[in-house]
Amino acid sequence: MMSPASKRRSVLLIGCGNMGSAIALALQDKAANLDLTVIDPDEERTRQVLGSQNKIKVVNDWAGLGSAQFDVCILAVKPTSALETLVDAQQNLQASLVISIAAGVPLAKLQQGVTNRARVVRVMPNLAAIVRKAISVGYADGAISTEDRELAEFVFGAIGRFQWLKSENEIDLATAVTGSGPGYVFSFVQHLQHAAEQIGFSKETADFFARQIIIGAAGLLEEDLRSPLQLKHAVTSPHGTTAAGLAEFEQEQAMPRVIRQTVAAAAARAKELATEQS
């Protein structure tokens, strides 16, 4: 079998917002064998975000696609319009692997909008796709072919790391961790910045500090083999400043409870989204 990287394929990306644009730009850079078409009603913003130095074709309605057929379709619209959009696209997706990144929209629902139910995959990436450091998780049912699995791995490999999950339930749970996770981290940075301002630093300095702390810590998590716990111990001198700070931060009713409740609330919302769709 030819590897996904060695065969020329056409890709239709539906929806070019935060995630769609990140995926389109990564595919353009990293997957030279893919011919990319993007459809989004906001053509002007789409052209602006994608820039002009590429071969991506942009259209703003289905008529712009004519009778073109695509090997792969990536569905990157809001969950509420996922099925309706797939139905609209159906005539152009007769031979497509369809990959939906819409949070919470069940596989069974997506399958209602396609002609070949065996060729639908759910993937949950995250916003770090913009810098090609996403973690994406995927789920497909047993009917999916090995070739389609490899194709999905290839496409999402362009934006970072990829892992298959064993059940559809897991993809909704992962959405609350990996999909939403960058949002929790940005909230942490935002509040760290505010705290630095409160003890006297200017907004600009506090912003610089808060960002660099995360960038430095992320670099350690990427390059240093120690566990997060070991790294934490390396920062924390006995009776020192970090120990004093962590004594507040790690109180059971403080950060540990907040993180647990945050992830549980997001997971509950992912489940609700699934029922809203069915």
Ligand X SMILES: NC(=O)C1=CN([C@@H]2O[C@H](COP(=O)(O)OP(=O)(O)OC[C@H]3O[C@@H](n4cnc5c(N)ncnc54)[C@H](O)[C@@H]3O)[C@@H](O)[C@H]2O)C=CC1
Ligand Y SMILES: O=C(O)[C@@H]1CCC=N1
For residue 60, the cross-strand partners are none
CA separation for the pair 177, 179 (Å, rounded) = 6
Give the per-residue contact string, 2-31, with ligand X (x = CB under 6 A; - = no).
Answer: ------------xxxxxxx-----------
For residue 36, the cross-strand partners are 11
Q: Which two tokens stand for residue 212?
A: 């660099």
Which of positions 103-132 make contact with ligand X (CB under 6 A)?
A: 103, 124-127
Q: Looking at beta carbons only, is 72 or 102 nearer to ligand Y? A: 102
Residue 113, binding choice from ligand X, ligand Y, none, Cβ under 5 to 8 Å by partner class: none
Task: Look at residues 119, 261, 128 and name the one whose alpha carbon lies nearest to residue 110.
Answer: 119
Which of positions 167-196 make contact with ligand Y (CB under 6 A)?
A: 175, 179-180
Regarding 21 and contact with ligand Y (CB under 6 A), the answer is: no
Q: Looking at beta carbons only, is 81 or 242 nearer to ligand X? A: 81
Regarding 36 and contact with ligand X (CB under 6 A), the answer is: no
Regarding 262 and contact with ligand Y (CB under 6 A), the answer is: no
Q: Has 169 been labeled as part of a binding site?
A: no
Contacts of 245 (CB under 8 A, 6+ apart): none
* Alpha-helical regions (H) of the chain: 18-30, 43-50, 82-89, 107-111, 146-157, 168-174, 181-198, 203-223, 228-235, 241-249, 255-277
Residue positions forming the annotated binding site: 14-19, 76-79
Q: Which positions touch ligand Y (CB under 6 A)?
A: 103, 175, 179-180
Q: Which positions touch ligand X (CB under 6 A)?
A: 14-20, 39-42, 76-79, 81, 85, 101-103, 124-127, 179
